[in-house]
Amino acid sequence: MDKDVIKHDNALSSWITLRVARDGVTTTVLRLETDLSLDAQDVNYQKGSVDSLIAAAVAYVEDHPHINTIEIEPIHQGRLEVTSLGD
């Protein structure tokens, strides 16, 4: 499996996946997970970094014409709390 196909500081992981519609039509998708906010209204939004990540993904797709679309998803990082371990 192609894993981490995009080399970019804000691409935490990336891979190629297949989407199958109800009618059986398939779409090849480049999926990326990022640590960036993708909401332009967010105070943490970094337009230059988002644009750079998009440019890296588009460049990859240009070299791999079998890929139909790109999906970029932010990783929702939060504090994990352990309430119990074992029995």
Residue 62 lies in a domain: yes
Q: For 35-79, what is each residue's pLDDT tens digit?
A: 999 999 999 999 999 999 999 999 999 999 999 999 999 997 655
Give pLDDT tens digits for 2-25: 678 999 999 999 999 999 999 999
- Output 9-14 pairs: Cβ under 8 A, ≥24 positions apart: 9/49, 10/34, 10/35, 10/36, 10/49, 10/52, 10/53, 11/53, 11/56, 11/57, 12/75, 14/57
- What pTM, to 2 d.p., does this model score? 0.81
User: Do the domain assignments include residue 29?
Assistant: yes
Which pLDDT score, from 0 to 100, does residue 23 have?
A: 98
If one counts the domains in the chain, the total is 1
Residue 86: is its pLDDT beyond 90? no
Q: In what helix (H) or strand (E) does residue 52 lie, and over which residues does it extend?
A: helix 47-63
Q: Is 1 within the bounds of a domain? A: no
Residue 28 in domain: yes
